[in-house]
Chains A and B, each alone.
Chain A
Amino acid sequence: MSVLLIAEHNNKEVRPFTLNAITAASQMDGDVHVLLIGNNCGDVAKLLSEMPAVKKVLHAEAPHYENYLAENFAPLVVKVSENYSHIVSSANTFGKNLMPRIAAHLDISQVSDITKVISADTFIRPIYAGNAFATVKSTDTKKCITIRPTSFEPCETSGGSAPIEKIEATEEFTLSKFIKREEVKSDRPELGTARIVVSGGRGMQNGENFKLITDIADKLNAAIGASRAAVDAGYISNEHQVGQTGKVVVPDLYIAVGISGAIQHLAGMKESKIIVAINKDGEAPIFSVADYGLEADLFEALPQFLEELNKLNSIQK
């Protein structure tokens, strides 16, 4: 049996977490087929076929696949799933929205957000905001799995030549309609894959003060993160939120500024290689996970930090 991997893309490019999902899928079974569902997405089919870990690309096109509505995607996945032992996608908002709909149609108890593949039916996944890790074994004949992208390396993207097989589209689900998507365009690295993340919390006090974070992020070529408190307060938009109900990040360097370190925030960043905490409250829980803690007023520390960075001869990119 083979693994069916559902590609996430924007009809032009493969979204980066698809690469991590392909790696995870290939650890379940070497025969990974990628299902590409979209509209005018021939270029994406080609990109996927060039990935050495991909053995076949199944390509379905229809206008109603343009905006990835789960109601339109799920029936096609169900139809294709017959010959597969595993159905896999990444546990980001794309996969979280889609996979349970597929699993319920197939009467499968899904395993969400795995961080490790032990064998074809046994996986490790975090529970309770990452305060515990459960080893679980699926007893369903077929498995529906979402994978935590930051726990798997991205796969190679060139050197392969998998066949592309066109498959028929399923009917449109007419009770749901896409209206619009408001994407924040940015030249910065994506939060989920950035090497360095600089995050601000409630201590930033307002949205304008995030400029202090932006300046440092620009200097370090870093992504900008935020605690839920900062997003709730309207300092910054939702796609920056790091934590249990936001994004999980595992950068080489995570700089937490004015973030107290609630369990729910730690869940999204405590696997980072190096953690820096800047906070004026020396008792803040963030210091318990920080490799380097600086007890200071961020409004003094951040300008100094930028000044010190400017003094360096070189900064890694």
Chain B
Amino acid sequence: MKILVAVKRVIDYNVQVRVKEDGTGVVTDNVKMSSNPPDDNAIEEAVKIKEAGKATEIIAITVGEEKSQETVRKALAVGADRGILIKTEGTVEPLAVAKALQKIVEKEKPDLVFMGKQAIDDDCNQTGQMLSALLNWPQATFASKIEIKDRTLEVTREIDEGLETIEVNLPAIVTCDLRLNEPRYASLPNIMKSKKKPLEILTAADLGVDITPRVQQIKVEEPPKRKAGIKVASVAELVSKLKNEAKVI
């Protein structure tokens, strides 16, 4: 079995994001970048499946600027066998990413495609579902547990009401929740070894995919600031404030 894992380079989840003064976006210069957290779960799950002897090859892929190679290298250091970067400039919308991934899937013919359920930068939560639509494959989104059967996959999904279990035939797309597993850290020797693993660089034009944005970003603003609150000295004071000042209880 061959597994393709899509990853994305985003602003690190610990960074307090700031809006640019001219309203054209958020500050990314000299800001720490990392792999999108649920994509780490996607890689981890693929590596676990390979370690269990159920997969033969893991390909890590990303769509993004030149520096996104770092994110693919990280996946290689954790256990992916080879990498692909589809090099782009500027904003690439989920639909365009899904179209680029579709081309790679048609070429590589993986049995499974994993990715995080959502990227923490644009918070779109679209790419996996779009890719499965384009391929007309089953989709198992927000996965917190995966069990591989013969040619099917049993997936537990986190939904608003609780948990849902579905069974999908392979090939299939799975988007991963943060609770799917505990991503490992790459060891130094593995980081060194990953530098020798193959990483192919392509462009959207090579794949014949039009990635022109369809949604114009008119402006980006800071959220309204909350006015500073107060510290109360006791529980009694808190309850009194909630009852008599805020009038919420």
Chain A contact residues, CB within 8 Å of chain B:
69-71, 74, 91-94, 96-105, 107-113, 122, 126-140, 173, 175-184, 192, 196, 220, 228, 231-232, 237-239, 244-245, 247, 252-253, 263-264, 270, 273-276, 282, 287, 289-296, 301, 304-305, 308-309, 312, 315-316
Contact = CB atoms under 8 A, between A and B. Distances in A.
A253 B242 contact: yes
Contacts of B159: 93-94, 181, 239
Main secondary structure of the interface of A (DSSP, over half): mixed
Nearest to A125: B123
Contacts of A245: 38, 117-118, 177-178
A103 B130 contact: yes
A244 B130 contact: no
A221 to B, nearest CB: 10
Interface stretch (B44-52, B55-63, B217-225): B217-225
A287 B19 CA distance: 22
Given A105-B133, A252-B248, A130 B223 contact: yes
Main secondary structure of the interface of B (DSSP, over half): mixed
Contacts of A132: 17, 19, 26, 220-223
B219 A128 contact: no
B93 A101 contact: no
Contact of B238 (A111, A182, A305): A305
| Interface residue tally on B, bucketed by range | 35 or more
Interface string B185-223: 000000000000000000000000000011111111111
Given A132-B26, A134-B219, A140 B214 contact: yes
B34 interface: no
The 4 nearest A-B residue pairs measured at CB: A100-B129, A104-B133, A104-B130, A109-B214
B217 A181 contact: no
B232 A294 contact: yes
